[in-house]
Amino acid sequence: MYEQEVKRLQEMIDDSERIVFFGGAGVSTESNIPDFRSADGLYQQKHKYSPEQIVSHTFFVHRTESFYEFYKEKMMFLDAKPNAAHKKLAELEEAGKLTAVITQNIDGLHQAAGSKNVLELHGSIHRNYCQSCRKFYDAAYVKGSEGIPKCSCGGTIKPDVVLYEEGLDSDVINRSIKAISEADMLIIGGTSLVVYPAAGFIDYFRGKHLAVINKSTTAREVGAKLTIAAPIGEIMEKIEVKRG
C-alpha cells in the first residue's frame, strides 16, 4: 500500500536538510490517544457541556472539579507509548535532517521517542504548576490526585495546557514560525489544517517540499506537492533515515 507515495516522500526527505514536522491529533491516535473533542455523547448527556466548553478557561475557574474529572479521564493517557511516526521523527532529528517538531498535542510522546526540539503549541500534560506558589508537579501527581489536585501550600494546581479562551505562548509561536520559514521541507501530519494556527503557519513556508499525511483528506488544499491519505505512523515507519 502507498508504495508510490512512500517512494516520493523518501525522495523529498533525502533531498532535504532542514525538515520541520507540524503535527496534530492524528499523530497521537495511533498511540491510542483519542481526540478529546470526540469524547462520546454519553458524557455530554450526563454533563450538559461539550468537550470544548469543559476545556475552557472559564470552566476551569468556575467548575474546577468537573474540569479535572474530564481532563484526567479524557486527556491524560500516561501509559501511551510513542508510535512509528514519533520514533521516525526522532531519528530524523538525530541524523541531522530535522530541525523541529511543532505539535498541537499535549501528551509529550515526541519527547518520549527522543525528539529534542519540540514546540508544543498547546502545552503539555507533563507540566503542572501551583497557581499560588508556582511549585511544579508531574502528570502522575495530577492524574492520581483525588478531585482537584492541590499543592502542599493549599493552592490549586493548573496544567500548563492552553485552554480555550487562552492565548498561545508567543515565544512558542515565534520559534515555530522561525523554524518553518527556515525549513526546506515541511511535513504536515495528522491534522486537517482547517484550524488555527495550522492554516496560518503554512504561509511562512518557503522551502521546496511540502507534504501532507493525514488519514482523512484535508479540507484545505495548501499546494502540497504530495498528499497521502493514510495514517501517519504507517507511512513514516517505511521511511529510511539517511544521515544528512
Q: Which residues bind Zn ion (CB under 5 A)?
A: 130, 132-133, 135, 151, 153, 155
Q: Which is nearer to Zn ion, 125 or 130 (CB)?
A: 130
Question: How many other CB atoms are found less than 10 A from the CB of residue 144?
Answer: 11
Order across the sheet with 98-103: list the strands: 118-120, 98-103, 19-23, 185-189, 209-213, 226-228
The least distance separating Zn ion from the CB of residue 137, rounded to whole angstroms, comes to 9
C-alpha cell at 107: 501528551
The least distance separating Zn ion from the CB of residue 165, rounded to whole angstroms, comes to 24
Q: Which is nearer to Zn ion, 133 or 229 (CB)?
A: 133
Whole-angstrom distance, CA of residue 23 vs CA of residue 5? 19
Q: Catalytic one among 57, 86, 122, 126?
A: 122
Q: Which is nearer to Zn ion, 34 or 155 (CB)?
A: 155
The least distance separating Zn ion from the CB of residue 151, rounded to whole angstroms, comes to 3
Nearest one of 56, 85, 80 to 214, comparing CA atoms: 85
Q: Which is nearer to Zn ion, 150 or 238 (CB)?
A: 150
Three-state secondary structure call for residue 77: coil
The least distance separating Zn ion from the CB of residue 155, rounded to whole angstroms, comes to 4
Identify the sign of the CA torsion 178, 171, 35, 27.
positive
Whole-angstrom distance, CA of residue 128 vs CA of residue 149? 10
Is 86 in the active site? no
Report the catalytic residues.
Answer: 122
